[in-house]
Amino acid sequence: MTETVPVLIVADPELMPAYAQPGDAGCDLRASEALTVPARGRILVKTGVSIALPDGYVGLVHPRSGLAAKHGITVLNTPGTIDAGYRGEVMVTLYNSSDQDFEVARLDRIAQLVIQQVSRAHFVVVDHLPESSRGEAGFGSSGVK
């Protein structure tokens, strides 16, 4: 994406989303306040950031792999969706899958924001769907190995 995305910092300029490494797909979102994610619980975390995405784009909020692997912290509704028309503060629902409370400090990186171009479908009613090699096979139909 070569378009500029306006970012309104609600709380502090230190909360500006940023890419950690050149070529990264996701930019880091930070916590705007300290809080505790309870063991086996969830909490809504404010980022202090509002964005204005261009029409035809979506912001997808993903977990950070290090938080997931080391502490069992993930984004509950992965990926969280930020529609182009939304102008409120970006918030992240963190879930703690471990048996220990997890402390989040102000400015900790808590999630990643990936911005992607989207297509809008035009749905039409049909009498039947075209055949495919998969057919109606669903959950687990491709096996484990």
The two tokens of residue 62 are 């993903």
Give the DSSP H/E element, type plus range, for residue 67.
Answer: helix 65-71
pTM of the predicted structure, to 2 decimals: 0.85
Over the stretch 112-121, which tens digit does the pLDDT of each residue have?
999 999 999 9
The two tokens of residue 116 are 């992607």
Dist. CA 120–CA 104, nearest whole Å: 37
Over the stretch 5-35, which tens digit does the pLDDT of each residue have?
776 677 688 999 999 999 999 999 999 999 9
The two tokens of residue 9 are 């910092």
Dist. CA 135–CA 126, nearest whole Å: 17
The Cβ of residue 82 has, within 10 Å, a number of other Cβ atoms equal to 20
What's the CATH fold of domain 7-117? Deoxyuridine 5'-Triphosphate Nucleotidohydrolase; Chain A (2.70.40)
